């Protein structure tokens, strides 16, 4: 009877290609099959570290439902498989959740390596309280008002992901629902040459990014609700 393979979730650099662990390189080299959210970007990383898988398979949000059966069969045939997303840790605001659950349903072992993710560096760089925080990822496109109403009195520091094209609009919404005077920070291009940390009130951050459209992926960090400072947060 063929021994089932193992699925490895391998974090990849969010900016500087040197931000990869020794173990991640070892796992990528030992797995005959690598799933990649973006095969073109994956090839840049793989070439950098002389990683030559037998197969490189595209696996992203729009095809993951159709590809899960293929992946499960390959694992059952005894192949170890590594999954890498465009950047960061698979499953964190990236595909991976459905695949992990499918593996568990079929009795297939899963391992996730520790490694790069944008939310922790952003939280630390923001200078906002980091003893308690919550990760909100991307705000929903349709029910964002409901989500922000729920977060209006959230006492923990909040972390959001956003694209550069929607950053100013999202900051405006945060300012509207959480308060113009609420303290926040935008951390952009983490670990890259043009890394930027900008701190201020949500109103000031909104104004700045409407006037200065950003480039690169962004993380928004917002201070939690403080009942004693609620009036100041309103602006």
Q: What is the CATH number of the domain that holds 196?
A: 3.30.950.10
Report the predicted TM-score, pTM, of the whole model to 2 decimal places. 0.91
25-48 tens-digit pLDDT = 999 999 999 999 999 999 999 999
22 versus 231: which is more confidently predicted? 22
Residue range 4-33: mean pLDDT, rounded: 97
Query: Which of the listed residues 112, 133, 163 is the one where a domain comes to its end?
Result: 112
Q: What is the CATH number of the domain that holds 48?
A: 3.40.1010.10
* Residue carrying structure tokens 């095969």: 39
Do both 124 and 212 map to the same domain?
A: yes
- Boundaries of domain holding 166: 119-233
Asked if residue 2 is part of any domain, the answer here is: no
Number of domains, the chain: 2
* Residue carrying structure tokens 């496109």: 141
The two most distant CA atoms of the chain are separated, in Å, by 68
- Predicted confidence at residue 1, as pLDDT, reads 59
Do both 124 and 25 map to the same domain?
A: no
Alpha-carbon distance 84 to 95, whole Å? 9
Alpha-carbon distance 197 to 186, whole Å? 6
Do both 87 and 124 map to the same domain?
A: no
117-141 tens-digit pLDDT = 999 999 999 999 999 999 999 999 8
């Amino acid at each position: 009877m063929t021994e089932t393979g193992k699925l490895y979730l391998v974090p990849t650099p969010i900016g500087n290609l040197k931000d990869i662990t020794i173990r991640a390189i070892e796992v990528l080299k030992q797995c005959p099959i690598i799933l990649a959210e973006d095969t073109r970007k994956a090839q840049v990383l793989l070439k950098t570290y002389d990683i030559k898988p037998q197969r490189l398979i595209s696996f992203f949000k729009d095809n993951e439902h159709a590809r899960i059966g293929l992946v499960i069969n390959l694992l059952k045939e005894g192949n170890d498989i590594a999954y890498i997303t465009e950047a960061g840790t698979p499953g964190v605001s990236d595909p991976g959740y459905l695949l992990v659950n499918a593996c568990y349903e079929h009795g297939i072992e899963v391992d996730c390596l520790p490694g790069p993710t944008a939310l922790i560096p952003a939280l630390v760089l923001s200078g906002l309280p980091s003893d308690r925080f919550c990760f909100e990822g991307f705000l929903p496109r349709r029910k964002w008002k409901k989500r922000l109403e729920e977060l209006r009195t959230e006492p923990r520091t909040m972390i959001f992901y956003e694209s550069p094209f929607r950053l100013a609009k999202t900051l405006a919404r945060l300012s509207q629902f959480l308060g113009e005077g609420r303290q926040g920070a935008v951390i952009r291009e983490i670990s890259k040459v043009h890394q930027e940390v900008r701190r201020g009130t949500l109103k000031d951050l909104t104004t700045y990014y409407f006037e200065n459209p950003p480039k690169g992926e962004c993380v928004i960090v917002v201070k939690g609700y403080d009942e004693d400072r609620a009036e100041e947060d309103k602006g």
